[in-house]
Structures are given as C-alpha cells and as structure tokens.
Amino acid sequence: MSWNIGANDVANSMASAVGAKAITIRQAIFIAGILNITGAVFIGSHVTNTIRKGIVSTDILADPHIALIGALSALLAASLWLSFATWKSLPVSTTHSIVGAMIGFGIMAGGFSVINFGKLGAVVISWIISPVFSLVIAYLMFKLIIKTILSRIDPFAMALKLSPFFTGITFFIVVLSFLFKTPLGEKLSIETPAAIAIAFILAFFFGIAGKKLFSCFIKKSEDGAENVFKYIQIGTSCYVALAQGANDVANAVGPLALIYFLVKTGSVGAKVPVPVFLLLFGGLGIACGIGMAGHRVMDTVGKKITRLNNTRGFSVDFAAATTVLIATKLGLPVSTTHAAVGGVLGVGLARGLEAVNFGIIIKIIIYWVLTVPAAAITSMIIFKIFQLVL
C-alpha cells in the first residue's frame, strides 16, 4: 500500500515541478524519498484511527478474527486498485482507495447499516470541491503573474521586485498547512490567531531573505522571471513531500497497525498506537514506490494535461496547497490528488481551451469516480475468499 502511495499519490504531487523542469525526475525521486521517510517517522501520527474517516462503524471490529481478515482485505484491495491506476498512468486518491476498501469490508462484516452514508456523501462532494477550488485559485494566480510580471517590458526585474510577495504568500500557506494539516502540528495545538501570526512573521522574513538570495544567484536573462519561480517551486515541492509522508503514511500503516495491535493484544479500539518501526516501514515503502514507478503518473500530470513552465507550476502547487488548507479548516474532505489535477487544469485554461488535453482529463475523472466502488467490490471479494480459506 505504501509503495502504491509513492508510485501514485506522491508522484502526482511532484509532477508539476518535474513538468515545469524545476527539478528532474531523479531529483524528485531523491527529494520525495528522503522527505517522505522524514515526514512519516518524525511528523507522522503515532496513533491512527482504525477506520479511516469514520465512514464505517467501529462495531465491526468487535470480533478480532473478522477485524484481522477485514484489515488485510482492505489493504490488498486498495493496493490492487492503486497498482492498476498507476499501470494506466492515471492519478487517483489513495485516501479514497482505502476508504472504498474499508466500506467493502464493512458491508461484508456488518451489512449496509454499518456505513455512515452522510460521511460517504462528503467524500463524493470532495470529488467536486477539490479540483474546482484548485482550478479557480491556479487560474487567478497565473493570471496575476501574467499581469504583474510576464506582460511587463522587463519581466525579470518585476519578478525580483515582487518576489517577497510570492515567496511570502507561499511560506504563509506552507507554515499554516504544517500547523493545521500534520499530526505534529495538531499535537502542538496552536490556536488559529497564533498560527496566523507565526505564519505571517515567518512569511515576511523568508520573503525578504528570498529576494536577497535571488538577487545574488539568479542572473538576468530571458528566463530570469521563470528562474525566480523555479526556486520557490522547489521549496513547495519539498514541503509537499514532507507533508505527504506525515499524512498519507496513515493510509498504509493504519490497517497494518490494526493487525499488529490485534495480534499483540487480542482486541482493538477506535484508535490504535502506531510503533515507530511501522511508520519507518511505511515511509520506506513510499520512497520505493516513487523511485520504481513514480515516473508514470508524473508524466501524465506534469506533461500530458497541459504544458507547464515554472510560473505555471508554481501556480499549480500554490493552488493545491491553498485548497487543501482551506478545506481542512472548513472541515471539508479533500484529496491532494484532485487538487493537483484541478490546479494543472486551471493554468491550462488560463491559456485557452486549446491548451488543455480534455481527453486525458475525462479519463482521470472516470478513474476518480470508479475508485471507491472498485476498491469496495475488490475488498468484498478478497474478504469472502479469506472467510472461506481462513
């Protein structure tokens, strides 16, 4: 499961940086691998919900044997669907895959009554919220860059002049995302006003520092403006890799922690502790996945939807991070995958309809819609086989 998260989910988050040529695929693999392991071990949650997103009632975990084969069925089903999507080079949500797989296990173990259809409806709504939010933000951000920088007589001078603003707002979003969207940030439990103040101070500092560094290291050229955004984008890519290690490792090690806890204690509750070695195991799996198969999804998101450069890639990363942050604070379930694709579509539309490959967009949407039912049906089949065999 963690291998598949690396191959599909982490890959599409690094795709805009690779597509914009801010970093190479090899560099993306290295950055994502190291930072995912770091995020998983040091920032990842040491306690995980046994049932992701609360869509399935924990009552089905009362029988340890049922819980054991159910968790294993869910892991296998979600992994198989993700492997299939990665083989097809299409980005899907790993969270929705494990949710669908747990629904399948829940229906087989306790019937439809154990499914919280209200929360399932919220997941379905997220298929619309994530890409549309991100599309609008990416579109507006890229239009702002065109108006203030790219359409000017000296784009490089304007990029340098405005770099504190663009670097600052990026750091503002990144710091707030870290404080609100990672297990470590949630553990620190900093109140919203204090978090905004910390983010603003750090954003101001890094905005000024960034301009000084850009002035020293980036020489004036035709691509000077793009180079300014190239370095900001590398920073956002590093944050994405770190945050995904912290957040998405739960999708892989959650069911595994449930199995481990059951074997050790013979019972299980709504939440189980996750040993550090399991977080490391999950982080290593993610790193292996992006190294061995990440190029497939990176190629689709970074190159096949629309042509990206550094300003467009920055707009995509900023839109995806902002969408996930706002939705988290509003309590809406969103997918980083859907936000990243929506952002790419947004910058494509900012250049006109002809700049977007709608054929690939339709394919991606079909796979998004299929994710929950496909993972659920696969999980049901595997669960039934395990029930007969074990």
In tens, the pLDDT along 193-206 reads 898 999 999 999 99
- 3-class DSSP assignment, residue 276: helix
- Give the tens place of pLDDT for each residue, 56-75: 887 887 888 888 898 899 99
- Give the tens place of pLDDT for each residue, 211-243: 998 888 887 776 778 888 988 888 887 877 777
Q: Residue 80 pLDDT > 90, yes or no?
A: yes
DSSP state of 79: H
Q: Which residue has the higher pLDDT, 53 or 334?
A: 334
Q: Which residues of 66-97 are buried (b: 16+ CB within 10 A; e: fewer)?
A: bbbbbbbbbbbbbbbbbbbbbeebbbbbbbbb
Mean pLDDT of the 1-19 span:
85
Q: Residue 373 pLDDT > 90, yes or no?
A: yes
The reported pLDDT for the residue numbered 53 is 61
Q: Which residues contact 65 (CB under 8 A, 6 or more apart)?
A: 390
Tokens for 143? 């239009």
Q: Which residues contact 79 (CB under 8 A, 6 or more apart)?
A: 1, 3, 4
- 3-class DSSP assignment, residue 91: coil
Mean pLDDT of the 32-47 span:
80
Q: Are 331 and 45 in contact (CB under 8 A)?
A: no
- Give the tens place of pLDDT for each residue, 138-174: 999 999 999 999 998 888 889 999 999 999 999 999 8
The reported pLDDT for the residue numbered 218 is 82
* Best-predicted range by mean pLDDT (88-97, 114-123, 223-232): 88-97
User: 272 - beta bridge partners?
Assistant: 48
Q: Residue 34 pLDDT > 90, yes or no?
A: no
Cα separation of 387 and 171, whole Å?
50
Mean pLDDT of the 31-51 span:
77
Does this model's pTM top 0.75? My answer is yes
Q: What is the mean pLDDT of the chain?
A: 86
Query: If you search the block for the tokens 């770091």, which residue do you land on?
Result: 38
Q: Which residues of 159-196 are buried (b: 16+ CB within 10 A; e: fewer)?
A: bbebbbebbbbbbbbbbbbbbbbbbebeeeeeeeeebe
- Give the tens place of pLDDT for each residue, 331-372: 766 778 888 899 999 999 998 888 999 999 999 999 999 999
Give the range among 100-114, 145-159, 215-229, 286-300 with minimum mean pLDDT. 215-229
Cα separation of 177 and 193, whole Å?
14
User: 288 - beta bridge partners?
Assistant: none
